[in-house]
Amino acid sequence: MSLEKEIKKRRTFGIISHPDAGKTTLTEKLLLFGGAIQEAGAVKSNKIKKGATSDFMEIERQRGISVATSVLAFEYNNIKINILDTPGHKDFAEDTFRTLTAVDSVIVVIDVAKGVEEQTEKLVEVCRMRNIPMIVFINKLDREGKDAFDLLDEIEQKLGLTVTPLSFPIGMGYDFKGIYNIWEKNINLFTGDSRKDIEDTIEISDLSSSDLNQLIGDKAADKLREEVELVEGIYPEFNKEDYLNGKLQPVFFGSALNNFGVRELLDCFIEIAPQPRPKQSEERLVLPNEPKFTGFVFKIHANMDPNHRDRLAFIKIVSGKFERNTPYLHVRHNKKLKFSSPNAFFAEKKEIVDVSYPGDIVGLHDTGNFKIGDTLTEGEVLNYKGIPSFSPEHFRYINNADPMKAKQLFKGIDQLMDEGVAQLFTLDLNGRKVIGTVGALQYEVIQYRLEHEYGAKCSYEPLNVYKACWVEPDNPKSEEFKEFLRVKQKFMARDKHDQLVFLADSSFSLQMTQQKYPNIKFHFTSEY
């Protein structure tokens, strides 16, 4: 098959949601449709259950599982679908942000009763900034929830989206009768039987027909007609172009647990969701159908077994064909590397593959060559942009607790930071090292891994920091900037790429600083 055709048949996406909205259940149902798994329960949730004896031990346990769910690939109607895992636990939020640089579109899952939740807001904001096409799936319609119109309002307001429903629920919770598919012009009646692969679909091309009354009763039929009229009056008509440009988000309703509304979502998804998209590098825009291979590392997974300290680097293929045993240029190291056993991912297993195409993810065994954001090419010097760091939420000094093991400690910290486990800042004033994380649990993970994988011991000391802000002066030579550096000396640090960072100790002090130095910009991400 030609490169063009391979590209055309691929859809690489992520499912984002607040924990418990139904991401794992929906993923599983999608895999069932693809015939990739035979029964429900085959995909392990990689979320950390509340109340586990030790959250930390739970993380350790989950790490094993999460390699398996990093990429779930399957075929449906001759389309190759790659689902990239986006961890829901807040301690892994940074991992999820980075995965979003490797998807071509996303599905946002929202719980009909809970509406828009915090984690969803953050993740959708990242997608919006990058104009990633989004489809919204409102889940758990078998339960009592918010009124559909109220919920659509909430999504528009809290998430800043422009929505248009492509399906509409008939009743909800106890009264849930089914779904009218605006996109396909048919009705699915809800039986509550999740064992059925595909629900009965009844064509209804004309809502005013009395067939509708017979199907769902007079009251529900009248209500549906009114609601669909309202939908047509309020919301813009679906337009694929706007969806692909991130300007319009279609909405589906359903119940993942009951396998209801999922096929409609999937059928529409493969029709409208983008094939692998061009990607901007620092040097130029790279198109997927260019014959030469390029790709970038968006995730690194370390092996927890101290006897096998190899890691798996996940590469998203952007252009050309990736082939086994072919030397590729590791641009940052200016060195050619060959991979004898690249892994491709399927529903529940990984396998060595000879060839992969744009949109695919390959896992490369790595002994420490890669860090997140690295680019591989056939020889061209290219650097893919767009794996920003976000300001951590927690900050602590890290100290060496075993003076004999300083070298091991630094190597360990270095490698863990390359993996993206946390962020390291070095204070300008005294060179002390500060670890910033999204979740407090990461400190335990780092301590444990330093000890077990590198034989080094560390201790932490509290440090009062509210946010790390990447600093961009309008004029680096101005008196204003010089004064800022002098006055705020003890709050200034460097990140791993030697970029200047201001560690603000409170939101108030950040505000005051912004007011006092109006010609300096303070960013919450390292890329601006």
Note the residues at the interface with ligand G4P (CB under 6 A): 17, 19-25, 45, 47, 88, 139-140, 142-143, 255-258
Residue 492 CB, nearest approach to ligand G4P (Å): 40
Considering the complex, state which of residue 194 and residue 213 has its C-beta at the smaller distance from ligand G4P.
194
Residue 16 CB, nearest approach to ligand G4P (Å): 9
Residue 7 CB, nearest approach to ligand G4P (Å): 30
Give bridge partners of residue 285 from the DSSP assignment.
280
3-state class of 460 per DSSP? strand
Considering the complex, state which of residue 255 and residue 275 has its C-beta at the smaller distance from ligand G4P.
255
Please report, as a single letter, which amino acid is at residue 140.
K
Q: How many residues does the chain have?
A: 528
Residue 19 CB, nearest approach to ligand G4P (Å): 4
Alpha helices (H) in 261-342, listed in sequence order: 262-272
Considering the complex, state which of residue 159 and residue 315 has its C-beta at the smaller distance from ligand G4P.
159
Residue 148 CB, nearest approach to ligand G4P (Å): 15
3-state class of 509 per DSSP? helix
Considering the complex, state which of residue 9 and residue 23 has its C-beta at the smaller distance from ligand G4P.
23
Phi, psi of 216 (to 5 degrees): -120, 5
User: Which helix (H) or strand (E) element contains residue 387?
Assistant: none
Residue 514 CB, nearest approach to ligand G4P (Å): 37
Burial of 509 (0-12, 13-18, 19+ CB in 10 A): middle
| Residue whose C-alpha is closest to residue 471's, from 515, 498, 492, 502 | 502
C-alpha span between 387 and 274 (Å, rounded): 21
3-state class of 437 per DSSP? strand
Please report, as a single letter, which amino acid is at residue 98.
R
| Residue whose C-alpha is closest to residue 86's, from 170, 181, 16 | 16
C-alpha span between 302 and 313 (Å, rounded): 9
Considering the complex, state which of residue 68 and residue 287 has its C-beta at the smaller distance from ligand G4P.
68
Residue 26 CB, nearest approach to ligand G4P (Å): 7
Sheet of strand 201-203, all strands in order from the earlier edge strand to the far edge: 167-170, 178-181, 186-189, 201-203
Considering the complex, state which of residue 141 and residue 427 has its C-beta at the smaller distance from ligand G4P.
141
Considering the complex, state which of residue 256 and residue 409 has its C-beta at the smaller distance from ligand G4P.
256
Q: Taking a C-beta distance cutoff of 8 angstroms, is the pair 257, 142 a contact?
A: yes
Residue 510 CB, nearest approach to ligand G4P (Å): 33
Considering the complex, state which of residue 16 and residue 313 has its C-beta at the smaller distance from ligand G4P.
16
